[in-house]
Structure 1
Amino acid sequence: MKKVLFSAFALMVSSSAFSQYWSTQNTGFSTASRGISGMEVSDANTAWAFAYDGVTPTNNVQEFTKTSNGGTTWTSGAINVGNPALTITNISGVSGTTAWVGALLSTSSDGLGAVYKTVNGGTTWIAQQAFSTAGESYLNFVHAFDANNVIVGGDPENAEFELYTTSNGGSSWTRVLDANLPNPNIGEYGYNAGYYAVGNNIFFYTNKGRIYKSTDKGLNWTIAFTGSTYSLTDFGGATVNGDMAWSDANRGIVFKRNFLGTTPTALAIYRTTDGGQTWSTVMFTGITAANNINDITYVPGTNILVATSSSQTTGGSWKSLDNGSTWTALDTGVQHLNVRCSDASTCYSGGFNTSATVGGMFKSSQNLGVADTSKAINVLSMYPNPTKGEVNIKTDKKIKSTTVLDLSGKVIATGSSEKANLNGFTKGTYLITVEFADGSTKTEKIIKD
């Protein structure tokens, strides 16, 4: 089987745009134009990332950087896995000393490789679970839930996705039982680092537009998203692909992106609040297909999302405080490669360095859940509340749009006036979101009698 690797990184351009939300940190890579290929943030102080060559992305780079003091200092080093031809799939760290990487021979049709672990901050890396079935094995990711519980995943081998778990830090590994794992479709496979983890929950996506989900650290799996319902037939396709993020076991979001060549032509967002049993299409504002979003993340356990773009022309970062409906730019004209958060005050986003002591990482420097005070709403009221049907909206700002949602976040009505009509709706509680001409928003709960 020929495995296609998903990659959407842009080359480095210079930018010095100011953002009140991001401060610049130095990744410590000795070579300039090192981009952050991927990262994991285990807590507010601890993060691990690995690099790629921003000038010649086809060059194979085996380098990491880490922080255990919130980014005050980053320490870089080599991921010495004994073979410079091995490609690093991803990195997952749990402390300043302990981390795992996946490494595979991506130049072959198999992608044979192994999981490697460090317990001394990256000085040495020791091989653990191998992926060794010629013609079938293909290692995709490794994730550490903590210092003991780790999972490694790969493509189907012997008619089932090849997944192994350990509860002793990798001293021994056990393959996930076939009975605990939905069968792959014909020709189905995953992608390098094509997964998302939060708490005890882990998800990975496939070339058949599906998302596999586990809520018990990878022991049991279900299907949480079937992309064919939304014409998202391949999470890594050239003309249609996707990305996902999860706040917890229930709240998740999927971005579907359409391309004509390398030009993004359409963007759709889908959202679940029941763990993937049902999905709704999100009516969103503040971002477009032209922004060419390349990564999304939740602040764990919240409705706060951050999206980034590495586009050389429309790059930047955005936040949403309402689970993906409304997006506000955090900065523009800046290349952000990927993003992960530990809490609303601590998010890291990869960039490019210009030297060992200049740049390469962004860190949030303001609580993302705090509204932009420059766009404060002086007067806003919605009445009557409770209402029999019609709701009046009084404000000192110009209204761009109004949106009525149910409590699951599903959009059920839209408008652009100072009135919202709930006639015909069943009794209950609804949300009315008002977007103003200056880009700010306000959401209020309304009770329908």
Structure 2
Amino acid sequence: MGLRLLFVFICIGFTAQAQFWTENASGFPLTNTGLSKIHIVDDNVAWATGYDGVNPNVNVQRFTTTSDGGATWTAGTIDVGDANLGISNISGVSATTAYVAIYPRLAGQQGGIWQTTDTGATWTRQTGAAFNSASSFANIVHYFNVNDGVAIGDPAGGFWEIYVTTNGGTNYTRMPSANIPAPLTNEVGYLAQYTHLGDHIWFTTSAGRVYHSTDKGVNWSVFQSPLSDFGGTNLSGDITFSTPNKGMIQDNSGNLFITQNAGSTWNAVNISGTGFPYGGAIAYIPNTSRIVSTGGDTTFAGTAYSRDDGITWINVSTDQHVDVAFFDEDTGYSGGFSTISTLDGVYVYTDNVLSTYDQLAIDGFSIYPNPSSEFINILSNQPVEKVEIYDINGRLLMEISNTSFINVTDLQSGIYFIQVNSDSTITTQQLIKN
């Protein structure tokens, strides 16, 4: 009961916030152009694609990019020589260079990977990522840096069509079937349905499975998720990872599932409090317990954030958001819809509620590192008199007095709650034990 009361106190403390999003002009010249498939290169550079927000079946070949942290965006056309080819996603490596995955929408078309080195003025097909069989369908391109990239397509010839490059796409090598667990019958991937962190990359499938590579796409493993399909008519989902081990799935009803072992097993998140996530996109702030959920469906639209791995949520808006991506606790974007090219269409994160500093200011203390495998430090505004560590069932496991340095080595991997007693203040935060 004490923990629940503390959660309510924390939620109340968040009711007065600075502006979470600031809406800027996406640069798209046509009204009702949606912005999605955001890829953040660094704290200044990001790229995204556009789509028809009224009729998504209308093919759109547009991109937009920023090089000043989202203050201004420049839009352009992705000219690949065939206006009927579809844009799967975009991946940038600098303010001038980016790659797009292209898929066939009509019989006889050939997709693949195209590159620009002049901020989208021209696009050139990279022939090494062939995608030239009758069943080839490029879903994803992702570059980890200026040299190392991976292109991921549906199964072709009996195994997943995945190409890896180490020289910026001058040459690609298709990964052999021995490196990739075999697809199930009729299993396919989805456009831009993936997440990445460092050298790690994950993509999702129509069978509800999650493929994972730890080495930039060379070798793969696969795990079954709690979902039966990541892109079905009635059931779909999005995936994000905070660390190489800790990740989360959100389905289109806002249900959450967390993993602490890179996707091998998943557990449902029991959401408490009055806030809730949305069923659209979801993104962790890397290496934290903070996460943002957005919704683009008109009946389930908005933004919410959690600071404790999805257990409690703060709802901050009811605007439509069709995508979300965060580079760190200061840099994040979400897609909107343009009405005037000089007015709106992209949301830029301008708050500080996701920062470690804000956690100290609001709760009175912060924990680092979190997640942790051995020791934690407690940074507090007041002298720490007593620290209590509870499991998720509310059972007291540890009680430590007059110290801010705690050994948690003996705790099993999982989620815990740390209650800090400082003078007359009692506050609680979540700890992830690796």
Q: Smaller-chain TM-score range?
A: 0.7 to 0.9
1:254 to partner: Cα distance: 1.2
Distance 1:366 1:74 in 2: 20
Distance 1:30 1:190 in 2: 31
Residue number in structure 1 paired with 2:304: 318
Residue number in structure 2 paired with 1:12: none
Pairing 1:183–2:178 present = no
Per the alignment, do residues 125 and 428 of structure 1 end up closer, same or farther by CA in structure 2, a change over 3 Å counting? Answer: closer
Which residue type is aligned with residue 130 of structure 2? A
Q: Single out whichever of 300-309 and 204-213 deviates more from structure 2.
A: 300-309
Which of 246, 251, 255 is the equivalent residue of 1:256? 251
TM-score, with length taken from structure 2: 0.79
Residue number in structure 2 paired with 1:244: 239
Pairing 1:364–2:354 present = no
- Matched-pair contact (CA < 8 Å) for 2:251–2:279: no
- Unpaired segments of 5 or more residues in structure 2? 1-16, 366-380, 399-409, 420-426
- Unpaired segments of 5 or more residues in structure 1? 1-17, 258-263, 392-403, 406-410, 415-419, 435-440
1:286 to partner: Cα distance: 5.3
Distance 2:32 2:289 in 1: 34
Within a 5 Å distance, the mapping from 1:1-400 to structure 2 comes to 20-108=19-107, 112-128=110-126, 129-134=129-134, 136-223=135-222, 225-227=223-225, 230=226, 232-257=227-252, 264=253, 267-285=254-272, 292-329=278-315, 331-367=316-352, 368-369=354-355, 371=358
1:19 to partner: Cα distance: 6.2
Residue number in structure 2 paired with 1:431: 416
Secondary structure at the counterpart of residue 355 of structure 1: coil
Q: Single out whichever of 293-302 and 268-277 deviates more from structure 2.
A: 268-277
Distance 1:158 1:444 in 2: 47
RMSD: 3.1
1:42-83: CA deviations, max 9, x gaps? 111010011011122221111110011111221111000000
Which residue type is aligned with residue 258 of structure 2? R
Which residue type is aligned with residue 249 of structure 2? V
Secondary structure at the counterpart of residue 358 of structure 1: coil
1:279 to partner: Cα distance: 2.5
1:432 to partner: Cα distance: 2.8
Which residue type is aligned with residue 361 of structure 1? V
1:300-324: CA deviations, max 9, x gaps? 2222111101132442111111122
Secondary structure at the counterpart of residue 178 of structure 2: helix
Secondary structure at the counterpart of residue 352 of structure 1: coil
1:117-140: CA deviations, max 9, x gaps? 000110000001231111x21111
TM-score, with length taken from structure 1: 0.77
Distance 2:120 2:130 in 1: 20
1:247 to partner: Cα distance: 1.6
Secondary structure at the counterpart of residue 336 of structure 2: strand
Which residue type is aligned with residue 307 of structure 2? L
Which residue type is aligned with residue 203 of structure 1? W
1:356 to partner: Cα distance: 1.1
Aligned residues: 379
- Matched-pair contact (CA < 8 Å) for 1:27–1:356: yes
